[in-house]
Amino acid sequence: MENVKQKSSREALLHIIKRQEMGKRQATALRFGALLLALIAGGVFILCMGHSPFGVYRTMVSGAFRSKMAVQATVRNMIPLLLTSLSVTLAFKMRFWNIGAEGQMIMGAVFASYFGLFHSDWPHAVLIPVMLLAGIVGGGLFGLIPALFKTKFGTNETLFTLMLNYIALYLVVYLEDRPWRDPSSPGYAKFAIFGNNAKLSKVFGVQSGWIIALVMLVAVAVYMKYTKHGYEISVVGESEATARYAGMNVKKIVLRTMFLSGAVSGIAGMVQASGTTGTLSQGIANGVGFTAIIVAWLGRLNPVSIFIITFLFAVMEKGSSVVRSTFNLSEAFASVLQGIILFFVLGCEFFIRYRIVARKRGGKTEQ
């Protein structure tokens, strides 16, 4: 009896219980509440730094649209984030936790950059499609590696894809320092700038990668919702046993989907190298692949929602740079402010899916 009492006393006072399902209206209200709390908490932080919250927030929003160049910069920020978010969405829908969009994006850039650096004399109409195809192959093959190990040896895809990011990054470091080093730069290692034939054309003042991103948005949305392959991805994500019972080749579906997931990230890498930076670089991904995980999660793996959230992220990123210059603040200030907002928004998703209940006397959990 004494042991029972001791066990009861050691039991946690609070328990986390998964919700059955929260209504859409209630979930929307909770998200708006979280955003309001985020703005209030961010405002307190801004006040502590000696600035007006209203002034900083106003500058952040207007800074993303204050001029034609600002709008173009906001669109440029959206392109790689949208593509990589769509990439991980394909894998996450299948419950394959692809944390390697960063590395897949880098490998897409590496494969595309080979042609941009060493075949820039090819006609523009030929070179750009070849670079795009190379980006697809590079990213797709790099996404296929963890899928092969997962299906054959049952490896942990989260750790595997995460570690591959560093392999891709240090491959770029090696290429920059040795075989692909710009011979015209004896002082420090760098890649040569692409020739004009290897650079994406501009449409409305922005590199045409935004058109590629919109095409991929529609393609992924249609693929996931209206095709047999998209249906198979959903079934495998719900239950592999059910998929096998229905006669689906789970191994083939995993391999195919991860190739496609990596391929979309590879397109993002090609677009960054050919459209934004004009060459390969160690910072070609710049953390976009990791941010894409947050965007896909917040968008609940819905391409339309992902597009909206990507737009808001791009506005916040561009607006934060304007805030830094306007108020003479360090880059850390904007990062902390963005972190506060994301903390509340992501925390909100936890309470939409789970609830915390207290334990009553006698060890019973309050329902």
Model pLDDT for residues 338-357, shown as the tens digit of each residue: 788 888 888 887 887 777 88
Average pLDDT, the chain: 90
pLDDT for residue 12: 65
- Distance, in Å, from the CA atom of 288 to the CA atom of 48, rounded to the nearest integer, reads 30
Mean pLDDT of 93-122: 96
Report the relative pairing of strands 202-203 and 354-358 from DSSP bridges: unpaired
pLDDT for residue 10: 61
Residue in the structure block whose two tokens are 């805030």: 323
Q: Which residues contact 367 (CB under 8 A, 6 or more apart)?
A: 357
Q: Which residues contact 26 (CB under 8 A, 6 or more apart)?
A: none
Q: 366 and 360 in contact (C-beta within 8 Å)? A: yes
pLDDT digits (tens, 9 = 90+) for 21-44: 777 788 888 888 888 998 899 899
pLDDT above 90 for 252: yes
Mean pLDDT of 147-151: 96
Strand partners, 15: 357
- Distance, in Å, from the CA atom of 60 to the CA atom of 323, rounded to the nearest integer, reads 6
| Range of weakest confidence among 52-61, 234-243, 279-288 | 52-61
pTM of the model: 0.89
| Range of weakest confidence among 59-73, 80-94, 165-179, 208-222 | 59-73
pLDDT digits (tens, 9 = 90+) for 270-316: 999 999 999 999 999 999 999 999 999 888 899 999 999 999 999 98
What DSSP element (H or E) covers 203?
strand 202-203
CB neighbour class for 153 (10 Å; exposed up to 12, middle 13-18, buried from 19):
exposed
pLDDT above 60 for 367: no
Mean pLDDT of 53-78: 91
pLDDT above 90 for 187: no
Q: Taking the CB of residue 274, how many other CB atoms lie within 10 A of it? A: 28
Q: 161 and 142 in contact (C-beta within 8 Å)? A: no
- Distance, in Å, from the CA atom of 240 to the CA atom of 283, rounded to the nearest integer, reads 38
CB neighbour class for 314 (10 Å; exposed up to 12, middle 13-18, buried from 19):
buried
- Distance, in Å, from the CA atom of 111 to the CA atom of 268, rounded to the nearest integer, reads 12
Sequence spans of domains, the chain: 14-51+330-367, 70-326
- CATH superfamily for 70-326 is ABC transporter involved in vitamin B12 uptake, BtuC (1.10.3470.10)
* Amino acid type, 293: I
| Range of weakest confidence among 15-24, 39-48, 58-67, 301-310 | 15-24
